[in-house]
């Protein structure tokens, strides 16, 4: 209907839409300045190995300290970064900042910490993802296997040949590849096997009600057994309770991540989290006990 009316009138441009357009422009302008003004920061969420109960890595999650507003969630600005093409620059920054942190930890008492970064499909379009990754590793003296790239199924569904070539290139150097939000997309296993994948990340959607919804529990179990038969690692995201944790443990999941252990933290607080963990003699009570 808007189309028909739009031919000779501008009726479909309501004042409310004007306001939305204005807000979007403002946000876009602020985002352009955010990189140069160093307003982006990475938070780190611990990834815990289930059989030892110890933190073995972290996921780097982007945050924007917007002046006069405060901490802004990536859900609010990643889509706009993608639409405007700014994600290329921000994505490069994320990879460099994560490698800088891995290098810092490597040469400190923290030691080797595997860090994953989220990669948007648009970063493949720019053509320089492999260049960005190898440069960041090299500049920071970081072994490639300490860096992991998280990609979603939808990212892998687009741009196939170029994406495969790029991933194979970084993979040859030892960079790890995982599929984020696994189980929510529409890709088939036959399709995914063409990519050099190391790990599946079970989406929070199946973890949330894993203890009360038998379907979700069955899906999580299917993903875990499938991952293992394909010799892939498997991690569950969004673990918030001891009950979810013990369910995933019984199912044989390798790693877990979620508020039950910690929210994403600034680097210094992440280090503090590690120190507290190291001070504990044995794995947390909820983690103790036989695996199956
Ligand atoms: P994701 O990669 O699936 O990240 C998981 C999200 O779940 C994060 O939200 C994390 O803070 C949140 N989370 C962690 N534990 C729990 C839990 O126990 N319960 C619940 N309810 N949530 C939990 P966040 O940090 O807001 O990031 C949202 C999404 O934004 C990410 O989803 C990712 O797709 C995207 N993103 C974040 N950083 C980057 C980045 O550097 N580049 C790109 N391209 N995307 C990013
Ligand atoms: Mg992720
Ligand atoms: Mg995820
Ligand atoms: Mg998710």
CA of 1 to the centre of ligand 1 (A): 38
Which residues approach ligand 1 with their CB closer than 6 A?
45, 61-62, 73-75, 78, 94, 117-118, 120, 150, 180-181, 204, 237-240, 258-259, 264
Q: Judge whether residue 3 has pLDDT over 60.
A: no
Are 149 and 117 contacting, i.e. CB atoms less than 8 angstroms apart? yes
Q: Which ligand is nearest to the CA of 89?
A: 1
Residue 72: CB partners within 8 Å, gap ≥ 6? 63, 64, 65, 66
Contacts of 31 (CB under 8 A, 6+ apart): 64, 77, 80, 81, 84, 86
Atom 41 (ligand 1) nearest CA: 62
Model pLDDT, residue 127: 65
- Identify the band that residue 49 occupies on the pLDDT scale cut at 50, 70 and 90: very high
Cα 152 to Cα 60: distance, rounded to the nearest angstrom: 15
Helix 87-106 crosses helix 15-36 at what angle (to 10 degrees)? Answer: 40
210-229 pLDDT tens trace: 999 999 999 999 999 999 99
Q: pTM for this structure?
A: 0.92
| pLDDT for 158 | 82
Give the pLDDT of residue 125: 76
Averaged pLDDT, 130-146: 97
Mean pLDDT of the 231-258 span: 98
Helix axes 214-229, 242-250, angle to 10 degrees: 50
Of all residues in the chain, what percent carry a pLDDT higher than 90?
75
**What spacing in Å lies between the alpha carbon of 123 and ligand 4's midpoint?**
19
Q: What is the largest CA-CA distance in the chain?
A: 75
Mean pLDDT of 277-291: 64
- pLDDT-derived band of residue 17, with 50, 70 and 90 as boundaries? confident
Residue 208 backbone dihedrals phi, psi, to 5 degrees: -50, -55
Q: Return the half-sphere exposure (C-beta side, CA atoms, 13 A cut-off) of residue 210.
A: 30
Residues, CB within 5 angstroms of ligand 3 (ion): 180-181, 237
DSSP-based three-state secondary structure for 114: strand
CA dihedral 197, 150, 203, 270 (to 10 degrees): 130
Distance (Å, rounded) from C-alpha 118 to C-alpha 253? 21
* Ligand 1 center from residue 61 Cα (angstroms): 6
User: Which atom of ligand 1 has the smallest separation from the CA of 240?
Assistant: 18
């Amino acid at each position: 209907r808007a189309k028909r009316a739009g031919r000779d009138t501008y009726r479909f441009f309501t004042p409310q839409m004007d306001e939305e357009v204005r807000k979007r422009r403002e946000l876009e302008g602020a985002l352009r300045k955010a990189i140069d003004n160093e307003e982006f920061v990475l938070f780190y969420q611990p990834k815990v190995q289930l059989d030892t109960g110890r933190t073995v890595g972290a996921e780097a999650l982007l945050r924007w300290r917007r002046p006069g507003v405060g901490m802004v969630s990536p859900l609010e600005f990643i889509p706009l970064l993608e639409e405007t093409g700014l994600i290329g620059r921000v994505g490069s920054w994320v990879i460099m900042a994560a490698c800088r942190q891995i290098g810092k930890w490597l040469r400190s008492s923290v030691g080797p910490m595997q860090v994953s970064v989220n990669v948007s499909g648009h970063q493949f379009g720019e053509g320089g993802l492999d260049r960005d990754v190898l440069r960041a590793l090299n500049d920071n003296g970081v072994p490639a296997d300490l860096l992991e790239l998280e990609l979603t199924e939808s990212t892998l569904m687009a741009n196939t040949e170029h994406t495969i070539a790029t991933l194979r290139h970084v993979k040859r150097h030892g960079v790890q590849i995982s599929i984020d939000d696994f189980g929510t997309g529409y890709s088939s296993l036959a399709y995914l096997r063409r990519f050099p994948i190391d790990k599946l990340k079970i989406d929070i959607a199946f973890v949330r009600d894993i203890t009360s919804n038998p379907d979700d529990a069955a899906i999580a179990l299917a993903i875990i057994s499938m991952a293992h038969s394909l010799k892939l690692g498997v991690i569950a995201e969004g673990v918030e309770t001891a009950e979810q944790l013990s369910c995933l443990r019984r199912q044989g999941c390798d790693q877990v991540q979620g508020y039950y252990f910690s929210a994403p933290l600034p680097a210094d607080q992440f280090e503090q989290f590690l120190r507290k963990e190291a001070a504990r003699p044995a794995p947390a009570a909820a983690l103790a006990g036989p695996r199956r």
